Amino acid sequence: MRSPAQLILLLVVLSDLAVLGTTRLSSCIRVLAAQGLLLGLLPVLLAPHLTVHAVSLGLGTVVVKAVVLPWFLAWAIREAAVRREIEPLVGFIASQLLGALALALAFAIAARLPLPTPQQPLLVPVSLATLMIGFLVLTTRRKALTQVVGYLILENGIYLFGLTQTESVPFLIELGVLLAVFVGVFIMGIVVFHINREFDSLDSTRLTELSD
């Protein structure tokens, strides 16, 4: 273990794999909240010295990704009364294997990317892996709420990639991105709620069927 930041990045990957392996939506959301907390710690640990910029970015991330969004998703589950992802398009075992494959791919790609060497060598591969695993969850699960979880993991991957550039990205833009994600998930939550009221189910494949 060379640094705490490295440990946190490893835990982020483990939480990705955990989301791929859980059927229960509430534990998915709990893992997502833990991931948000880890992501909030990262800007503080990665900054060479404590700056207001890094601390406020970390705090904002924790508040949005570890408290508000998980709480909102938990509310949506309660309202919609969905508990489990029953039959994803790609089974749980296959999706875990695909996750491991995505991990290998991410490390292979990151080694070939012509990026200026970041201070934390694991940051780029972990961000790519998180991105791909998020995409996997987003595309292969049936329940609209799990798809929202996948979208958030995808966004976490983008956030991790953005951390390589924390020095040069203005604070306002990052806050803007956080706000956009928050509003996006808020709208998704409301849509999910209405899907559930119309169709009595959150199975997104039913949305392609015609009904009068």
Partner 1 sequence: MTWEEVAALGILALTAPAVPGIAVKTKSFLTGRRGAPVLQLYFDLWKLLRKGTVYSRTTTWVFRAAPIVVLASLIAAALFLPLDGRAAPVGFAGDLVAFAGLLALGRFALVLAGMDTGSSFEGMGASREVTIATFAEPTLFLCFIALVLATGDVSLGGMLGAPLAAAWPGAGASLSLVGVSLFVLLLAENSRTPVDDPATHLELTMIHEVIVLDHSGPDLALILYGSALKLALFGVLVVSVFVPRAALAGPVALAVLFGGLGAVAVAVGVVESVMARLRLSRVPQLLVGAAALALFGIILQLH
**Could you tell me which residues come within 8 angstroms of residue 21 by beta carbon, excluding any fewer than 6 positions away?**
92, 96
CA distance linking residue 24 with residue 74, whole number of Å: 12
Q: Which lies closer to partner 1 via its Cβ, residue 58 or residue 99? A: 99
Q: Which lies closer to partner 1 via its Cβ, residue 44 or residue 103? A: 103
Question: Smallest distance from the beta carbon of 130 to partner 1, in angstroms?
Answer: 13
Q: Which lies closer to partner 1 via its Cβ, residue 11 or residue 138? A: 11
**Could you tell me which residues come within 8 angstroms of residue 188 by beta carbon, excluding any fewer than 6 positions away?**
144, 148, 151
Question: Smallest distance from the beta carbon of 22 to partner 1, in angstroms?
Answer: 10
Question: Smallest distance from the beta carbon of 94 to partner 1, in angstroms?
Answer: 9
Question: Smallest distance from the beta carbon of 175 to partner 1, in angstroms?
Answer: 32
Question: Smallest distance from the beta carbon of 7 to partner 1, in angstroms?
Answer: 7
Burial (0-12, 13-18, 19+ Cβ within 10 Å), 132? buried
Q: Which lies closer to partner 1 via its Cβ, residue 18 or residue 73? A: 18
Q: Which lies closer to partner 1 via its Cβ, residue 43 or residue 125? A: 125
Q: Which lies closer to partner 1 via its Cβ, residue 96 or residue 166? A: 96
Question: Smallest distance from the beta carbon of 13 to partner 1, in angstroms?
Answer: 7
CA distance linking residue 2 with residue 82, whole number of Å: 42
Helices 69-80 + 25-46 axis angle, to 10: 170
The residues that touch partner 1, with contacts defined as CB under 8 A, are: 1, 6-7, 10, 13-14, 17, 21, 92-93, 96-97, 99-100, 103-104, 107, 111, 121-122, 125
